[in-house]
Amino acid sequence: MPVAHGLIEELHDVAPDQLPARLAGWTTPKVLRGLVAHWPMVTAARHSATAAVAYLKRFDHGRLPVTATTAAPTEGGRIFYNADMSGFNFRREQIPLRVVLDTLLKYQPDPAPPSIYVASTTLDTFLPGFAADNPLALGVDDPLASIWIGNRSRIAAHQDVPDNLACVAAGRRRVTLFPPDQVGNLYIGPLDFTPAGQAVSLVDFAAPDLTRFPRFADAMAHAQVAELAPGDAVYIPSLWWHHMEGLDAFNVLVNSWWRPVPAWTDAPMNALMLALLAVRPLPPAQRAHWRALFDHYVFDADEATTAHIPAAVRGVLGELDPATAEAVRKVLRLRLER
């Protein structure tokens, strides 16, 4: 595989109570060594996988099954499409969390086990009390905390709209990050047919085919890499591409997502999908005209954009609020249903 350009910037001096003040100013990735080393979950995991499983079971109320993703040993932990991309190389099952945990322990000595992966499971719903026992204040509004549990895994490079703080609670992780502008070098697959909701890179990072994906070498020249131990955390800014690997036979990750905008704002992906429908088919000259409009009203917008319009009649060009947002959605719904 091509050699990565560099390491993710590391910080060794961020105490948990300092995090809200530091986090607010970050726009690039950071590795936070030992940020959650004080967590009881981390202490249990450092003792053994058996101790970590026993700790997790303390919070499992057992009333809801989790969604477990499983794949054959021949897939080498890669959660991906099948060979012709007509489907996927895994299946999903609804299984009690205790069964998943016990199965992971059973396969721990196996050098080539089936892949078992419980992804993005809401902490407060499935493990109530875990967050209170393993606290981390972010100083952000409405963070969504999730837990990820599994054995060795390789999750294709993808991006998320929210900012992300991912904390390693058990096992070791390797994370490879790329700036958003590397989208053209990562060979991203379909937007609307994905393994887990987000479009992913089609490159196998363990064995990249540079004949089929030659620009991937350029992507790796911009990559930032880190290996994380239990207690470490990584901050992944919005839309940074990230390839995640669970390196041990038992891995637990706890992450929080948040967006620095009110909950009533819309998902940017909706705008992209609509632009694919409405703007991309236009002749090149017309696309250029729309690029100018998007730059003016969206990407380069500032106070001067609407200074010449009385504030009372700026409408959607003015300050948005929940009522304005709902009015815009109503107009869009009517237009899309024509």
CATH of the domain at 124: 2.60.120.650
**Residue 113 is encoded by which pair of tokens?**
């086990």
Give the total number of structural domains in the chain: 2
- Note whether residue 263 is domain-resident: no
**Residue 174: other Cβ atoms inside 10 A:** 15
- Residues 197 and 320 occupy one common structural domain: no
User: Which domain covers residue 331, as residue numbers?
Assistant: 268-336
- Note whether residue 1 is domain-resident: no
- Residues 91 and 173 occupy one common structural domain: yes
- Residues 61 and 25 occupy one common structural domain: yes
* Cα 244 to Cα 1, 6, 78, 143, distances in angstroms: 16, 16, 10, 21
- For the chain (338 residues), the mean pLDDT of every run of 10, in chain order, is 77 94 94 98 98 98 95 97 97 97 97 96 96 96 96 97 97 98 98 95 97 97 98 98 98 96 92 96 97 97 95 91 92 88
Q: State the Cα–Cα distance between residues 47 and 209, nearest whole angstrom.
A: 40
pLDDT of residue 338: 77
- The dihedral region occupied by 188, where left means phi > 0, alpha psi between -120 and 50, and beta the remainder, is beta
